[in-house]
């Protein structure tokens, strides 16, 4: 952009020519309506005071002799009453503007006051409009103008009051009109009072160059009032103030009864400049505030990337709808939409392409669900609340459009549907729709899944697990079971693996498959693993105190543990507290845990190793980066995954592979353990190829600690002499 263009843009923004968003407009409008509350209140007090002062019968000259007292009062207090009515009407209007509910009192007051605004100018017939002398011309014109503005103001308030609910946008326009008319009346009033004072014949005799302009302050006050309390666009402030000052200056200079002195003129112009500057700076300040506020409001409600609602705002809107129509929930259906395999596009074509697709998909969502509430929940997840049962047709439509969008990419649409209960939180409803959606995640042929009774049972169980983890730890519903690890050469016990079990009073025995992945998903796994550390150390201390034999125990760790807690610190604390030899604790980390942030994991593992803990690589061979893992980390033992043994009998290659792995490990100076040994053939083969440790049902399943110890005591497990 050229400098000239930029300069013009800057100036046009400075002068307020830049178009404001509707949010900024209504922000400024609200600020103006609020200011008019203070303005009108002050005017009311002033006018009341003037009316009381002017109608004090003790000081009114000729009160007793006056033939028509009403006329006299009107003459003395008429303009103030007019202004009083105007200000009261504005005050009531402004207060009721901010009330969301329609209060009857406000309604009536608005009607009465707007009627007065319309009717009061009828008294104009009483006023003698005189266009003959310099002084009376100005007085008559301002009076006429004020009397014209007032009914318009009344009409605007009346329309607004009667049609408030139907107008919406015009509601703002009308309130702007009320404020503009109020400002007009104020300015005209200032001119009228200021001028009539200047031209007051009472001062004439004082001195030919009477140098006091007492009531000019009224004019100035009114302009400050209008220009600084209300916010105008800068160019309007400039036009408004300059024209009103020029008119007034011309009137003063044109009046022949008295001289308008040069210093007065200079003061006067200085004043104009100051007020204009203040008015502009107030505008700029307010607009900056409004824009900032708008941004915050936008972020609170919308997702910036795709320009859809965010989840919180969607929930708020749903609750609002239920509040207005308490049966809304019964019509509503929550759809949780997931683009399965979306990560592929990010991985293969980059995040920018991924974003583009999300934006396009959001457009499609808006097309298909025209009148429904749509939000982006996170990533490639969307939520739609549809207020009828015709969602299947729309889901199919969406699926067709998605296929057009993604072309040959393997991205699938998955939708979970949930019908909410009365008073159910929209967040829970979304969770349930999401849960239904998750069930078909790995079923390419299924497009949608509707949350039913069976899913409900499963969902409740999962919720229960998530919500009761702390309770379970506190009440020892969670314990470690111990599975023996033996030397391959003599099958003597050389250790055990601690495997978590949850024995629940309500659901009974829960296996790790039910809670470990769930706790990982919900980033709670560290609580469980910390509890297992405590359990293992505490039980080991008890055994040692009672002179029962102990063997090294391997404890399982998830990748997330290293993010969510200080593994090393917790281990050290318990080792110290229960006075346990570090050699008795092995740390098992699965291969998949080591992908991702390699340098961080390496640092943590190295530090644990330096502290004296043995690090065991779990599930070796189950992932696809095994060999890299061996290159990047140093392990004491690798645990060969049990999947290798699953077709030991039938697949000849298995033996070669196992043999090679053991040889590779030997080369690297790493010890080996094979998991899932179930037959004597497997056990013998593994011993022959040099795998040192074995674990599997052949030697024992995971046992409750008591049973495990009993087996040791009864010599069913022979503890090896060589356990460390």
Asked if 619 touches ligand C2E (CB under 6 A), the answer is: yes
Give the Å distances, CA to CA, from 132 to 78, 139, 188, 192, 247: 22, 11, 20, 17, 19
Greatest alpha-carbon span in the chain: 135
Nearer to ligand C2E, 294 or 678 (CB): 678
Q: Which stretch binds Ca ion (CB under 5 A): 188-196, 500-508, 560-568, 611-619?
A: 611-619
Distance of CA 61 to the CA centre of its chain: 68
What residues does 639 pair with on adjacent strands?
673
Which residue, chain included where needed, has tokens 């049609």? 163
Shortest Å distance, C-beta 675 to Ca ion? 5
Among 338, 556, 683, 692, binds ligand C2E (CB under 6 A): 556
- Between residue 541 and residue 560, which ones bind Ca ion under the rule CB under 5 A? 556
Nearest approach in angstroms of CB 601 to ligand C2E is 15
At closest approach, how far in Å is the CB of 674 from ligand C2E?
Answer: 10
511 binds ligand C2E (CB under 6 A): yes
**265-300 per-residue burial string, b: 16 or more CB within 10 A, e: under 16:** eeebeebbeebbeebbebbeebbeebeeebeeeeee
Nearer to ligand C2E, 366 or 538 (CB): 538
Token duo for residue 522: 């919900």
563 binds ligand C2E (CB under 6 A): no
Q: Per CB under 6 A, does 702 bind ligand C2E?
A: yes
Q: How far is the CB of 471 from ligand C2E (least distance, A)?
A: 18
Stretch that binds Ca ion, among 363-371, 416-424, 440-448, 619-627 (CB under 5 A): 619-627
648 near 679, Cβ under 8 Å? yes
What is the rounded distance in angstroms from the CA atom of residue 32 to the CA atom of residue 26? 10
Q: Does 697 bind ligand C2E (CB under 6 A)?
A: yes
Residue 623 as a binder of ligand C2E (CB under 6 A): the answer is: no
Instruction: Give residue for tokens 């043994």.
Output: 645
Type and span of the H or E element at 456: helix 453-474
How far does Cα 48 stand from its chain's mean position? 49
Which C-beta is closer to Ca ion: that of 380 or that of 619?
Answer: 619
- Residue 130 class from Cβ within 10 Å (0-12 exposed, 13-18 middle, 19+ buried)? exposed
Q: Is 618 in the site for Ca ion (CB under 5 A)?
A: yes
Binding mask 566-605 for Ca ion (x = CB under 5 A): ----------------------x-----------------
Closest approach of Ca ion to the CB of residue 337, in Å: 36
- Residue 416 as a binder of ligand C2E (CB under 6 A): the answer is no
The window from 240-248, 364-372, 375-383, 550-558 that contacts ligand C2E (CB under 6 A) reads 550-558
Contact track, ligand C2E, 455-494, x by CB under 6 A: ----------------------------x-----------
Report the length, in residues, of the chain. Answer: 724
The secondary structure of residue 722, as a DSSP letter, is: -
Kindly state the smallest distance separating residue 497's Cβ from Ca ion, in Å. 6
Q: Tokens 């400049």 sit at which residue? A: 273
Tell me if 437 sits within 8 A of 338, measured CB to CB: yes
Part of the chain binding ligand C2E (CB under 6 A), chosen from 341-349, 577-585, 601-609, 694-702: 694-702
Distance CA 288, CA 18 (A): 13
Which among 378, 460, 447 has a CA at the least distance from the CA of 414? 447
Binding mask 295-324 for Ca ion (x = CB under 5 A): ------------------------------
Distance between CA atoms of 88 and 39, rounded to whole angstroms? 10
- Which residues are near ligand C2E by CB under 6 A? 483, 499-500, 511-513, 516, 525, 529, 532, 556-558, 618-619, 642, 676-678, 696-697, 702
């Amino acid at each position: 952009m050229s400098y000239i263009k930029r300069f013009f843009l800057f100036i046009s923004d400075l002068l307020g020519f830049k178009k404001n968003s509707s949010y900024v407009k209504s922000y400024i409008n609200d600020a103006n309506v609020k200011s008019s509350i203070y303005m009108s209140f002050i005017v009311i007090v002033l006018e009341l005071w003037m009316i009381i002062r002017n109608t004090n019968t003790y000081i009114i000259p000729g009160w007793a002799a006056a033939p028509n007292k009403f006329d006299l009062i009107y003459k003395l207090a008429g303009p103030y009453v007019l202004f009083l009515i105007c200000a009261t009407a504005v005050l009531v209007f402004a207060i009721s503007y901010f009330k969301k509910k329609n209060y009857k009192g406000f309604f009536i007051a608005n009607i009465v006051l707007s009627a007065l605004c319309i009717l009061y100018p009828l008294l104009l017939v009483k006023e003698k409009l005189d266009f003959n002398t310099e002084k009376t011309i100005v007085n008559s014109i301002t009076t006429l103008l004020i009397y014209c503005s007032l009914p318009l103001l009344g009409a605007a308030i009346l329309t607004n009051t009667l049609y408030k609910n139907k107008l919406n946008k015009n509601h703002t326009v009308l309130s702007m009109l009320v404020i503009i008319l109020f400002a007009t009346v104020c300015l005209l009033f200032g001119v009228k009072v200021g001028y009539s004072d200047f031209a007051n014949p009472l001062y004439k005799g004082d001195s030919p160059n009477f140098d006091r302009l007492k009531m000019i302050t009224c004019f100035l006050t009114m302009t400050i009032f209008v220009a600084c309390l209300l916010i105008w666009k800068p160019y309007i402030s400039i036009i408004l103030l300059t024209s009103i000052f020029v008119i007034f200056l011309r009137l003063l200079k044109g009046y022949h009864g008295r001289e308008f002195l040069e210093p007065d003129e200079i003061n006067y112009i200085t004043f104009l400049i100051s007020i204009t500057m203040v008015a502009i700076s107030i505008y700029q300040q307010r607009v900056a505030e409004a824009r900032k506020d708008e941004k915050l409001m936008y972020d609170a409600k919308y997702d910036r990337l795709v320009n859809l609602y965010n989840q919180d705002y969607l929930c708020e809107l749903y609750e609002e709808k239920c509040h207005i129509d308490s049966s809304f929930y019964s019509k509503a259906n929550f759809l949780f939409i997931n683009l399965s395999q979306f990560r592929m596009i990010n991985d293969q074509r980059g995040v920018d392409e991924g974003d583009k697709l999300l934006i396009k998909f959001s457009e499609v969502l808006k097309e298909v669900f025209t009148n429904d509430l749509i939000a982006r929940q996170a990533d490639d997840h969307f939520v739609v609340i549809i207020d009828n049962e015709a969602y299947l047709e729309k889901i199919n439509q969406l699926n067709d459009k998605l296929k057009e969008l993604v072309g040959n990419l393997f991205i699938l649409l998955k939708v979970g549907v949930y019908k909410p209960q009365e008073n159910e939180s929209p967040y829970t409803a979304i969770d349930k729709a999401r849960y239904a959606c998750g069930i078909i995640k790995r079923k390419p042929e299924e497009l949608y899944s509707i949350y039913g009774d069976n899913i409900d049972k499963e969902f409740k169980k999962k919720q229960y697990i998530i919500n009761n983890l702390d309770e379970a730890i506190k009440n020892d519903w969670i314990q470690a079971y111990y599975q023996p690890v033996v030397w391959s050469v003599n099958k003597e016990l050389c250790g055990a693996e601690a495997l978590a079990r949850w024995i629940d009073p309500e659901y009974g025995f829960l296996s790790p498959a039910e809670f470990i992945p769930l706790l990982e998903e919900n980033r709670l796994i560290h609580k469980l693993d910390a509890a297992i550390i405590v359990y293992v150390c505490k039980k080991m201390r008890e055994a040692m105190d009672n002179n029962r034999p102990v063997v090294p125990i391997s404890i399982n760790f998830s990748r997330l543990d290293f993010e969510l807690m200080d593994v090393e610190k917790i281990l050290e604390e318990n080792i110290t507290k229960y006075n346990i030899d570090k050699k008795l604790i092995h740390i098992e980390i699965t291969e998949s845990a080591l992908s991702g942030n390699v340098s961080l994991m390496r640092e943590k593992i190295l530090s644990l190793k330096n502290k004296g803990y043995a690090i065991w690589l779990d599930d070796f061979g189950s992932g696809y980066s095994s060999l890299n893992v061996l290159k990047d980390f140093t392990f004491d033992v690798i645990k060969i995954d049990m999947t290798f043994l699953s077709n030991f009998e039938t697949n000849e290659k298995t033996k070669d592979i196992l043999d090679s792995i053991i040889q590779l490990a030997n080369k690297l100076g790493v010890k080996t353990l094979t998991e899932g040994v179930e037959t004597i053939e497997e056990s013998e083969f593994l011993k022959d190829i040099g795998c040192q440790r074995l674990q599997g049902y052949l030697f024992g399943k995971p046992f409750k600690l008591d049973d495990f110890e009993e087996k040791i005591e009864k010599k069913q497990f022979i503890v090896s002499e060589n356990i460390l």
